[in-house]
Amino acid sequence: MTAAHRRRLGARHLILLALLALLGSAGTFAAVTGNASAHPSPSPRVTDPTDNHAHGGPSPADFADIRRAGPDARPPRNQPSASTGTFTARCGRNENGHRNPDNFIVTPGVRNGAHHLHDYVGNLSTDAFSTDASLRAAGTTCARGDKSAYFWPVLRLTGDSDKSGESDGQEAEGRVLTPDSVTLTFRGSPTAKVSAMPEGLRAITGDAKAFTNGAKDARARWSCTGFTGRHLTDKYPLCPRGSAVVRLLDFPSCWDGQHTDSAGHRAHLVFPDTATGRCGRGLTPVPQLRMELTYRVPRGPSFAVDSFPEQLRKPVTDHADFANVMPAGLMATVVRCVNEGRRCG
């Protein structure tokens, strides 16, 4: 072998070493060169999204004393044409423990598509495979035949390990709290009369990924009983003794008049103008759903909402979902009550 030949082999050897260093392992290099069976690279660890040990957070900085919260912005002033009534749907507080990590609106047909656990009231069949037809055929926890699906991520006591299967069979980080109360109220518009929602209308509020997406679609509002008019948006509330934690979730109420859903699940139903309460041109006001959930929790930073693992259980990620499956007659009653300024339920 000549000296030149040895120098060429040496150069090739250096190139191979550089490639191995770049790719990170001999197994990966074998796969690239078509010889993966010789040195199979180890599979990356995929975190089971139902494994709540993956849910980091929240941090102490995610909590604030509700007594330090400033007053909410004033709501828009009612105009002479306002619809000022309300209709309260009586659906219980999920006493039957209907929970799963699905979301048929955002990830239809995908088991564990939410990657966090949801509480449900209303329709008894709601899961990943729900359709208009299956929801119509199911039972409900609501009065007056309302088969609508109402759901939100569960609230947990942090640091309370619970092996009750409340996380799709995985050990849960934090015991699931059933709300002490669930109030579902349909409200009117400060500027106009409302029209009926179409059957099958899908609606979402908030952004489950607001921690990484930014706050553009965030709608979370947290408070305590006894502190009406004071809410936090990016902090969990620390409530004084005897006061319960409150989650307030308002839904959009300006409908495009044509579609029951849309790409991204937001374009067909949007929020009114925050300053005036008026719907944009070409949009129709429909009854606005407000969910108010209350929980008795130990004092201190001891609770958190379920979230996608990478969202670190931040309070800004709070959100909720709704699908209208009210009978037409009941929806007509809702509209009359709201438009006539009455309190019904």
Give which of 146, 153, 107 is closest to 130, Cα–Cα: 107
Give which of 266, 279, 77, 276 is closest to 194, Cα–Cα: 279
Q: What is the pLDDT of residue 55?
A: 54
Strands (E), the chain: 63-65, 86-89, 99-100, 118-122, 149-153, 155-162, 172-177, 181-187, 202-206, 221-224, 236-238, 245-250, 254-255, 269-270, 284-285, 288-295, 303-305, 319-323, 343-344
Residue 316, token pair as written in the block: 């800004």
Q: What is the pLDDT of residue 288?
A: 98
Q: What is the pLDDT of residue 56?
A: 80
Q: What is the pLDDT of residue 212?
A: 96
Non-local CB neighbours of 225 within 8 Å, separated by 6+ positions: 239, 243, 244, 246, 294
Query: Taking phi first (over 0 means left), then psi (-120 to 50 degrees means alpha), and beta for anything else, what does residue 145 get?
Result: left
pLDDT tens-digit profile of 82-91? 999 999 999 9
Q: What is the pLDDT of residue 134?
A: 98
SS3 content of the chain, % helix, strand, coil (to 5): 20, 25, 55
pLDDT tens-digit profile of 74-84? 999 999 999 99
CB-count burial class (<10 Å; 0-12, 13-18, 19+) for 246 = buried
Cα 115 to Cα 51, 109, 110, 143, 189, distances in angstroms: 9, 14, 10, 30, 35
The secondary structure of 270-329, three-state, reads ECCCCCCCCCCCCCEECCEEEEEEEECCCCCCCEEECCCHHHCCCHHHCEEEEECCCCHH
Percentage of the chain exceeding pLDDT 70 = 80
Q: What is the pLDDT of residue 161?
A: 59
pTM, entire model: 0.82
Q: What is the pLDDT of residue 18?
A: 42
User: Residues of the chain whose pLDDT is less than 50?
Assistant: 1-54, 163-165, 168-171
Q: What is the pLDDT of residue 173?
A: 75
Cα 249 to Cα 133, 166, 198, distances in angstroms: 27, 23, 21
Residue 87: φ, ψ to 5°: -130, 125
Residue 158, token pair as written in the block: 């942090």
Q: Please, how many CA atoms are within 13 Å of residue 117, restricted to the half-sphere of its CB?
A: 28
Other C-beta atoms closer than 10 Å to the C-beta of 53 total 14
